[in-house]
Amino acid sequence: MNKTILVTGGLGYIGSHTCVELLNNNYNVIVIDNLSNSKESVKDNIEAITGKKIIFYNVSVCDMEKIRDIFRKSKIDAVIHFAGYKAVGESVMKPLLYYQNNIDSTLVLCQVMNEFNCKKLIFSSSATVYGNNTNVPFREDYKVGGTTNPYGTSKLFIEHILNDLYISDNEWGITILRYFNPIGAHKSGLIGENPNGIPNNLMPYISKVAVGELKELSIFGNDYDTVDGTGVRDYIHVVDLANGHVKALSKLLDNKGVSIYNLGTGKGYSVLEIVNAFIKENKINIPYKIVSRRSGDVAVSYADSTKAKKELGWMPIYGIEDMVRDSYNFYRNNKND
Ligand code: UFG
């Protein structure tokens, strides 16, 4: 029998790519998404890419009764929990909203999972939990903390909550995945990252400049101690990231305990290197200007990803050219969408 996986936030950027890879690996997929930062058409696109159907509920993960109903209707083997607010700047302005939504949803989910004896959970965490640590590459056993915004702190708190949950009940299997910087899109151009409004993140911003929706990119600082003075990040193709979830799931289904993995390539690129790769690969100019540093940014962040490679047998296969090409391809297909 194929296993059934509940994916919260499954119509979002990382969630939708993970649904595709789950379906490609013969899992049944149930998605919960309240469409707060996604569109219902993503469901059709996931189905068009894979030729398979998913079950979709337009429900908030904070709605305990509705989550119970979903567990009553289907036998769920494991949950991948993507749903959550993720805009760093907004989280500074609306801390209560971020703490309430991100933490409440996780508490509701875990409580209902407990009631239905479904104790396998993969949680979307972030490299942001390493805070302002400068000792790169980041390893999973580094001390976490020192987060610089409520979004990051909500991820950190949830990691602590999940650890405590396991301590209270050793039947749980919990995998915490710390993402670095996902970019790129499915090669079909049907799903990708399409934030509402002006993007906060680098690749959506560059892509919107490329398709003429924004005038020029502002590069936040060129006086960091890096190869060219601009910030360095570990960019990872979202399809590689999605496949990391499939590998983590297959291990989790047979194991208990809390496991933490970085999902990054282990290689850092500067903002200027990304801009130049985008220009070269897509043969399109990206006008930019250098402005002052963005508050809360660290100079350099990249993963030590040997643990995921060794224990999950996971290996990112896409390079920077694939990432910038697939990002642009998605934006060209979804201009003004
Ligand atoms: N940048 C610019 N101009 C922009 C946007 C970004 O120069 O318009 C620079 C940033 O200063 C940084 C790099 O591009 O050096 C990457 O910035 P992003 O906003 O794309 O990504 P961050 O590394 O700041 O944040 C990402 C995720 C967060 C997560 C964090 C963890 O978006 O959710 O990684 O380190 F918390």
pLDDT tens-digit map of 50-69: 999 999 999 999 999 999 99
Protein residue whose Cα sits closest to atom 8 of ligand 1: 202
Ligand 1 pocket test: pick from 130, 193, 205, 297 the residue with the most ligand atoms within 8 Å of its Cβ: 297
Residue written as token pair 């350099």? 300
Sole residue written with tokens 């059709």: 44
Tokens of 116: 């239905």
Would you list the DSSP string of 309-337? Answer: IIII-------HHHHHHHHHHHHHHTTT-
Residue position matching structure tokens 């650890």: 163
- Cβ atoms of 192 and 324 within 8 Å: the answer is no
The identity of residue 142, as a single letter, is Y
Point out the catalytic residue in the list 98, 151, 318, 331. Answer: 151
| Cα 159 to ligand 1 centroid, rounded to whole Å | 22
Write out the two tokens for 191.
């799903």
Evaluate if residue 296 carries a pLDDT over 90.
Answer: no
Which atom in ligand 1 lies closest to the alpha carbon of residue 220?
7
- Pocket lining for ligand 1, CB < 6 angstroms: 86, 88, 126-128, 152, 181, 200-202, 205, 217-220, 231, 233, 271, 294, 297, 301
Q: How far is the CA of 202 from the centre of ligand 1 (A)?
A: 6
Q: Is residue 78 within 8 Å of residue 116, measured between CB atoms?
A: no
Question: Per residue in 273-288, pLDDT tens?
Answer: 999 999 999 999 999 9
What distance in Å separates the CA atoms of residue 172 and residue 4, rounded to the nearest whole number? 17
Which atom, in ligand 1's list, is nearest to the CA of 86?
A: 33
Of ligand 1's atoms, which has the minimum distance to the CA of residue 151? 36
Question: Closest Cα partner for 138 from 221, 21, 146?
Answer: 146
Looking at the whole model, is its pTM more than 0.95? yes
Task: Please name the residue whose Cα sits nearest to atom 2 of ligand 1.
Answer: 219
pLDDT (mean) for 17-24: 98
Report how far ligand 1's centroid is from the alpha carbon of 296 (Å).
Answer: 10
* Model confidence at 148: pLDDT above 70: yes
| End-to-end CA gap in the chain | 39
Which pLDDT score, from 0 to 100, does residue 197 have? 83
- 219 vs 44: CA distance, rounded Å: 36
Going from the Cα of 232 to the center of ligand 1, the distance in angstroms, rounded, reads: 9
| CA dist., res. 27 & res. 205, Å (int) | 34
- How far, in Å, is the centroid of ligand 1 from the Cα of 179? 12
**Following CA atoms 201, 144, 238, 176 in sequence, which dihedral angle do they give, to the nearest 10 degrees?**
-140
Mean local confidence (pLDDT), 21-35 = 98
Task: Report pLDDT for 239.
Answer: 98
Q: What is the pLDDT of residues 183-204, one digit of tens each?
A: 999 999 999 998 778 999 999 9
Kindly report the protein residue whose alpha carbon is nearest to atom 16 of ligand 1: 202
**Residue bearing tokens 């920077």:** 320
Cα of 334 from ligand 1 centre, angstroms:
22
Q: Is 151 an annotated catalytic residue? A: yes
| Rounded alpha-carbon distances, angstroms, from residue 277 to 34, 235, 236, 327, 330 | 35, 12, 14, 12, 17
User: What is the pLDDT confidence band of residue 337, given thresholds at 50, 70 and 90?
Assistant: low
Where are the extended beta strands (E) located within the chain?
Answer: 4-8, 28-32, 55-57, 78-81, 120-126, 173-179, 181-183, 217-220, 232-233, 235-237, 257-263, 269-270, 288-291, 300-301
Ligand 1 center from residue 201 Cα (angstroms) = 5
33, 58 contact by CB (below 8 A): yes
pLDDT at 336: 66
pLDDT at position 57: 98
**Residue (of 150, 153, 147) closest to 133 by Cα position:** 147
Pocket test for ligand 1, best of 177, 232, 294, 295 (most atoms within 8 A of CB): 294
**Which residue from 178, 202, 220 has its CB within 8 A of the most atoms of ligand 1, so it is best to mutate?**
202
Ligand 1, atom 4, residue with closest C-alpha: 202
Mean pLDDT of 209-224: 97
Give the model's pLDDT for residue 192. Answer: 97
